């Protein structure tokens, strides 16, 4: 059997996020973010964990770039901490200098910098002024983007405006399981729009100030399947697809919100926060679409009799993130599952990429996150034999290759994550890294998955 190979120039990388790895929460002029506030609020995170120290990447960045080099990676996807570089709407030189050193260090090692402007760490002062549900936050994001893109410019290969705006809007303002922890359905929909608007505003900044750089956005698009072939369950898929996927694909790529989304959510919001021209602004042309994929979603329309099920994989809350879809059930799915409780189904990766191939045939794609959390154990010899993660990665990388074989224009793959890190509301209990972090000593140890990934990258083909 011939090994799965990938096109010449396929970009292999690893991904991280600022609040999850940097630490140094109150150093060098960094101001608080919503995740500082949220994680320091009792009961919000598992074991009361915070990102105050995390993986101490702020002080160990050179060591971590060394791991990227040893892995042979061509790209590194990281995020920039808005409250570190632009607190109070003014440049913090010490914060900008940190990212400047990081970018230069990547370039010196022949690694492409892929910078995300927003990975969930809104400055707390902007949340105090209303957060993403208010329009001014989008304008402040434009200011921040202009400053940091002006500082780093074309040294960055790819500028990604947002990571998973679905989570920022619906989990932050709908279900409250992410920062800032609000449970206001109408505010969640307003946040959807202002995140989309902010993407367009910042994207135009990138076009102007870094014309040689590529422009991207990363979406956690859901693969939604019906529990049966009934018309009612097909409609449940349609409704969740509108909230999960087309609420972002519509304005960002098609220049308009889908009509059924507006109709479904009309009892909650009249969407009057959308002003003339906003959707055209949001639809700034992209060079690549980032795709994050972990698992699939199974739904049905509630029959009014059966016990309700909310197994959507996004955290337990008395408040649903699915605005206007209160009668849609999210059903548990058969295993195997990761430590997050997410089902493992690589076919969903192929299905999603082929959908994007069909709907947006001229838009290149990049897998910007894919990986798995497992309860890793350290062997007596100090090694971490994470066979389940190796199997997960092998099967999902193969699924990407299957989509490429069927015409999907996928340009690269970034494993989530380079390092074990602060996993948001799950604190330090869930480990996604291919490199283990001992949080007591900050010692990094390659897991078997890191050795496997290095072999994959070196051969541009799945290892035997």
Long-range contacts (CB closer than 8 Å, 24 or more residues apart) made by 202-205: 202/117, 202/141, 202/142, 202/145, 202/161, 203/161, 203/284, 203/286, 204/281, 204/284, 205/142, 205/145, 205/146, 205/149
Characterize 44-69 residue by residue with b for buried, 16 or more Cβ atoms within 10 angstroms of its Cβ, and e for exposed. bbeeebbbeebbbbbebbeebbebbe
Tally of CA atoms within 13 A in the half-sphere of 416 that contains its CB: 20
Question: How far is the C-alpha of 338 from the C-alpha of 169, rounded, in Å?
Answer: 25
Question: How far is the C-alpha of 358 from the C-alpha of 408, rounded, in Å?
Answer: 9
Question: How far is the C-alpha of 376 from the C-alpha of 68, rounded, in Å?
Answer: 21
Q: What is the pLDDT of residue 372?
A: 98
Please report, for residues 139, 241, 334, 338, 459, the alpha-carbon distance to residue 299 in angstroms, rounded to integers and kept in the order given: 37, 11, 14, 20, 40
Burial of 2 (0-12, 13-18, 19+ CB in 10 A): exposed
Residue 285 is given by DSSP the state P
Active site residues per annotation: 164, 369
Q: Does the global pTM surpass 0.95?
A: yes
Please report, for residues 76, 201, 220, 267, 356, the alpha-carbon distance to residue 271 in angstroms, rounded to integers and kept in the order given: 37, 19, 23, 11, 27
Please choose, from the candidates 387, 383, 386, 352, the residue with its C-alpha nearest in 3D space to the C-alpha of residue 369.
352
Question: How far is the C-alpha of 159 from the C-alpha of 420, rounded, in Å?
Answer: 24
Q: What is the pLDDT along the chain (464 residues), one digit of tens a residue?
A: 468 999 999 999 999 999 999 999 999 999 999 999 999 999 999 999 999 999 999 999 999 999 999 999 999 999 999 999 999 999 999 999 999 999 999 999 999 999 999 999 999 999 999 999 999 999 999 999 999 999 999 899 999 999 999 999 999 999 999 999 999 999 999 999 999 999 999 999 999 999 999 999 999 999 999 999 999 999 999 999 999 999 999 999 999 999 999 999 999 999 999 999 999 999 999 999 999 999 999 999 999 999 989 999 999 999 999 999 999 999 999 999 999 999 999 999 999 999 999 999 999 999 999 999 999 999 999 999 999 999 999 999 999 999 999 999 999 999 999 999 999 999 999 999 999 999 999 999 999 999 999 999 999 999 98
Q: What is the pLDDT of residue 40?
A: 98
Residue 307 is given by DSSP the state P
At 348, list the tokens: 């969903």
Burial of 390 (0-12, 13-18, 19+ CB in 10 A): buried
Please choose, from the candidates 59, 79, 68, the residue with its C-alpha nearest in 3D space to the C-alpha of residue 168.
79
Name 423's Cβ contacts closer than 8 Å, sequence gap at least 6: 20, 373, 429, 430, 431, 432
Name 208's Cβ contacts closer than 8 Å, sequence gap at least 6: none
Q: What is the pLDDT of residue 2?
A: 61
Q: What is the pLDDT of residue 137?
A: 99
């Amino acid at each position: 059997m011939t090994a799965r190979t990938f096109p010449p120039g396929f970009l292999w990388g690893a991904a991280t996020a600022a609040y999850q790895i940097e630490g140094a929460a109150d150093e060098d002029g960094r101001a608080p973010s919503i995740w500082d506030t949220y994680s320091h609020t009792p009961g919000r995170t598992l074991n009361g964990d915070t990102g105050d120290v995390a993986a101490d990447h702020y002080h160990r960045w050179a060591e971590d770039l060394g791991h990227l080099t040893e892995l042979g990676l061509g790209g590194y996807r990281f995020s920039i901490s808005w409250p570190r570089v632009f607190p109070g709407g003014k440049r913090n030189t010490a914060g900008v200098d940190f990212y400047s050193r990081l970018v230069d260090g990547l370039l010196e090692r022949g690694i492409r910098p892929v910078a995300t402007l927003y990975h969930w760490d809104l400055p707390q002062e902007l949340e105090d002024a209303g957060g993403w549900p208010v329009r001014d936050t989008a304008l402040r994001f434009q200011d921040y983007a202009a400053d940091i893109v002006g500082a780093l410019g074309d040294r960055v290969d790819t500028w990604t405006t947002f990571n998973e705006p679905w989570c920022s809007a619906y989990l932050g303002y709908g279900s409250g399981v992410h920062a800032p922890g609000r449970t206001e359905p109408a505010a969640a929909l307003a946040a959807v729009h202002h995140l989309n608007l902010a993407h367009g505003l910042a994207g135009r900044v990138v076009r102007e100030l870094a014309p040689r750089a590529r422009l991207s956005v990363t979406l956690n698009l859901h693969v939604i399947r019906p529990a049966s072939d009934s018309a009612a369950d097909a409609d449940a898929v349609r409704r969740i697809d509108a909230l999960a996927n087309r609420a972002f694909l519509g304005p960002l790529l098609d220049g308009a919100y889908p009509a059924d989304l507006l109709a479904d959510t009309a009892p909650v919001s009249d969407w009057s926060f959308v002003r003339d021209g906003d959707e055209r602004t949001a639809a700034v042309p992209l060079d690549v679409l980032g795709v994050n994929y972990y698992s699939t979603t199974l739904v049905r329309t509630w029959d009014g009799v059966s016990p309700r099920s909310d197994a959507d994989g996004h955290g337990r809350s008395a408040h649903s993130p699915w605005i206007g879809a209160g009668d849609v059930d999210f059903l548990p799915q058969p295993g195997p599952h990761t430590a997050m409780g997410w089902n493992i189904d690589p076919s969903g990766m192929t299905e999603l990429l082929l959908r994007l191939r069909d709907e947006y045939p001229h838009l290149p794609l990049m897998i910007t996150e894919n990986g798995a959390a497992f309860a890793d154990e350290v062997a007596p010899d100090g090694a971490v034999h994470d066979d389940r993660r190796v199997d997960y990665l092998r099967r999902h990388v193969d699924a990407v290759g299957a989509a490429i074989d069927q015409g999907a224009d996928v340009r690269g793959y970034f494993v989530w994550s380079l390092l074990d890190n602060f996993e948001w509301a799950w604190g330090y209990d869930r480990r996604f890294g291919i490199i283990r972090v001992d949080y007591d000593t900050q010692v990094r140890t390659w897991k078997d998955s890191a050795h496997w990934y290095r072999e994959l990258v070196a051969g541009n083909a799945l290892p035997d």
